[in-house]
């Protein structure tokens, strides 16, 4: 009974977290699955969004403009990673690591210190709903339609001519170029938008928690990857909508696993082990399903 009560009390908190951090998983999925461009920049774009948004708010910039500029900065960070790979022929993973390293210094330069409090500042969410940061019910009632809207918008875009060109660039860049697709432009667009989503999450978290810190991105890449893997194991990748929804479904499940671990009395230092074992289980389940489908096709 104590476990059920503890878990139920944590659900509103982890639900809000999962919906926001699901944007990081979406930012990982777009280059990884759609562009065949494994990218690590989200771990730098996330704090970039938070630090820049915080610095602009403290400087007196209107909340809406500060939010938009933070998202734009994430887009530019993703474009920079893509350009490092495309122009200098550097491996995508190494390009992402280099960008994360440079963004650490950039975030310190932006804020002038390691963290910036926002408790006395009017954030974008406060300007819309004064009770937003004080009520988890209000937060979840706002995040749920935003997530649904983003999933619908991204799914719609991926069915347009531009979206099909982006997907073709990831499936076969040579074939895409042969059909007149400017693959460089599609790569820049895809990686840029992916990291804009990560910066959006960072700016949102900074405003909700009331401060930004240069180390706020530590571990978000692993969390995002875990969420993506879990989501794909649950909903699959058989359609564009499923692929787009998988990061958010996985994030929701991932953070509920954390809630269950905390409610069960698991030491917080052991949560990474518990979630890691859970992700391994989901991977094994996904692999088993793939093997069964292949076996059915052979027998057919």
Domains of the chain: residue spans and CATH: 2-294 (1.10.3470)
Model confidence band, residue 282 (pLDDT cutoffs 50, 70, 90)? confident
Residue 272 pLDDT: 76
Q: Where are the beta strands (DSSP E) in the chain?
A: 115-117, 211-213
Model confidence band, residue 203 (pLDDT cutoffs 50, 70, 90)? very high
* Average of per-residue pLDDT across 209-232: 89
Report residue 180: phi and psi, to 5°.
85, 15
Residue 296 pLDDT: 66
Residue whose tokens read 């209000």: 138
Task: Convert the pLDDT of each residue in 88-122 to its tens digit.
Answer: 999 999 999 999 999 999 999 999 998 899 988 88
Residue whose tokens read 């690590």: 40
- List the structure tokens of 39: 């990218």
Residue 284 pLDDT: 78
Mean pLDDT, the chain, rounded, equals 89
* Average of per-residue pLDDT across 256-261: 84
Rg from Cα positions in the chain: 20
Report residue 116: phi and psi, to 5°.
-135, 115
What is the Cβ-side half-sphere exposure of residue 214, based on CA atoms within 13 angstroms?
Answer: 16
- List the structure tokens of 265: 């009395």
* Average of per-residue pLDDT across 145-158: 96
Q: Does residue 267 surpass a pLDDT of 90?
A: no
Residue 295 pLDDT: 64
Q: Does residue 260 surpass a pLDDT of 60?
A: yes
- Let me know: does 215 contact 47? Beta carbons within 8 Å: yes
């Amino acid at each position: 009974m104590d476990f059920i009560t503890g878990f139920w009390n944590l659900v509103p908190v982890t639900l809000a977290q999962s919906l926001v951090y699901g944007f990081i998983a979406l930012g990982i999925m777009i280059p990884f699955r759609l562009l065949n461009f494994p990218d690590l920049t989200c771990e730098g774009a996330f704090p970039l969004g938070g630090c820049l948004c915080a610095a602009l708010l403290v400087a007196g910039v209107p909340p809406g403009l500060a939010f938009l500029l933070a998202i734009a900065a994430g887009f530019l960070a993703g474009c920079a990673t893509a350009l490092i790979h495309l122009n200098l022929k550097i491996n995508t993973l190494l390009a992402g690591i280099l960008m994360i390293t440079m963004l650490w210094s950039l975030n310190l330069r932006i804020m002038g210190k390691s963290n910036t409090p926002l408790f006395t500042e009017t954030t974008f969410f406060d300007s819309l709903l004064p009770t937003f940061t004080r009520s988890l019910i209000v937060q979840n009632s706002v995040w749920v339609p935003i997530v649904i809207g983003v999933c619908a918008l991204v799914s719609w875009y991926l069915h347009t001519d531009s979206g099909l060109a982006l997907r073709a660039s990831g499936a076969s860049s040579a074939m895409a170029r042969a059909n007149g697709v400017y693959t460089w432009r599609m790569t820049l667009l895809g990686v840029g938008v992916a990291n804009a989503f990560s910066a959006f999450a960072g700016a949102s978290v900074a405003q909700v928690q009331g401060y930004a810190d240069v180390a706020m991105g530590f571990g978000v890449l692993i969390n995002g990857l875990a969420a993506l893997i879990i989501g794909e194991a649950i909903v699959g990748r058989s359609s564009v909508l499923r692929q787009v929804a998988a990061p958010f479904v996985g994030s929701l499940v991932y953070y509920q696993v954390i809630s269950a671990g905390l409610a069960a009395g698991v030491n917080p230092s052991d949560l990474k082990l518990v979630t890691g074992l859970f992700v391994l289980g989901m991977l094994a389940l996904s692999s088993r399903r793939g093997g069964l489908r292949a076996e059915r096709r052979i027998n057919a």
